[in-house]
Each structure stands twice: as C-alpha cells, then as structure tokens.
Amino acid sequence: MSSAAPGSYLLQAEIAACHARAASVEETDWPRITMLYELLGQIEPSPIVELNRAVAVCMAFGPETALSIVEALTREPALENYHLLPSVRGDFLFRLARFDEARAAFAHAATLAGNQREREFLLGRVRECDAKLH
C-alpha cells in the first residue's frame, strides 16, 4: 500500500464525486471541495484551480471570504481575457449586494464571452443588477 500523496487525477475525481453524490447545490459538501481544491492547487497550481477554489469557498464560507481570492486573480495575466473571472467576481459582488460593482463585472464578462448564449446570460445578470439598483 502506498502512502504517497494523492495525485491531481484522484483529487479531480474526488471533486467530481462530491458533486455527483449531492442531490442539490445546497447539499453539496462545499467544505470538502474547498479542501480538495486547496490540495490540487498545491500539487498543480494554476489560476483556474484557484478560481474554482474561490467558488467552493464562496459556497462553503460565503462570498466575502471568496472575493479576496478572486480580487487577487484579477492581476493574473493568464485570466485577463477569461470571461469566467469577471463573471464569478460579479456573482460574489451581487451576493454581497454591491450591485454597481456586480453590474460592471457582468458587463465586462459579457464583452469577453465566447458565444452568444453566455453573452445573453451575462447581460441578463446585468439586468438583474439594474433591477436591484432601481
């Protein structure tokens, strides 16, 4: 029996299994997924892993904690044109009732979206922010 640390494929499978076992988003074991992403980030650090960890942190511990992770990622050149970064940031800001900032993040994400369906979804989030502001 090996006592080696888990590899990236095992960690990714564990994350997928956590999602698959959950009957709903609310029943998902977000603290475990957060821990698994932390381990994955230690053995295969990447901005995408860190963004996924931020989402898990948000779901487990709230958007305020997760927002600091995303704010740090905004300085990551590899994510400069990645629409999911401002989209995730916008979602966290929306959850924090910071609707002006959320609106700007969703609008920016819409300009980066790679297809019409994603763009329409993000523009819908812009409209949600507008409704909260008026």
Mean pLDDT along residues 91-117? 98
> Do residue 45 and residue 9 come from a single domain?
yes
pLDDT of residue 2 exceeding 90, the answer is no
* Amino acid code (one letter) for 52: N
Q: Which of 75, 78, 108, 103 is nearest to 91 (CA)?
A: 103
19 half-sphere exposure, CB direction, 13 A CA radius: 9
- Asked if the structure places residue 29 within a domain, the reply is yes
Mean pLDDT along residues 75-97? 97
Angle at 49 between CA 62 and CA 114, to 5 degrees: 95
- Asked if the structure places residue 115 within a domain, the reply is yes
> Do residue 47 and residue 94 come from a single domain?
no
Q: What is the DSSP letter of 41?
A: H
Mean pLDDT along residues 119-124? 98
> Do residue 56 and residue 109 come from a single domain?
no
Number of structural domains the chain divides into: 2
- Asked if the structure places residue 70 within a domain, the reply is no
> Do residue 92 and residue 53 come from a single domain?
no
> Do residue 3 and residue 55 come from a single domain?
yes
Q: Which of 67, 35, 62, 39 is nearest to 51 (CA)?
A: 67
Structural tokens at position 64:
């305020």
pLDDT of residue 102: 98
- Asked if the structure places residue 21 within a domain, the reply is yes
> Do residue 104 and residue 49 come from a single domain?
no
pLDDT of residue 55: 98
- Asked if the structure places residue 68 within a domain, the reply is no
Rounded-to-integer distance, Cα 67 and Cα 73, Å: 10
User: Tokens 């487990």 map to which residue?
Assistant: 60
> Do residue 57 and residue 1 come from a single domain?
yes
> Do residue 95 and residue 49 come from a single domain?
no
Rounded-to-integer distance, Cα 84 and Cα 108, Å: 10
When the pLDDT of each residue in the chain is averaged and rounded to a whole number, the result is 95
> Do residue 19 and residue 46 come from a single domain?
yes
Structural tokens at position 24:
């709903």
Domain that holds residue 50: 1-62
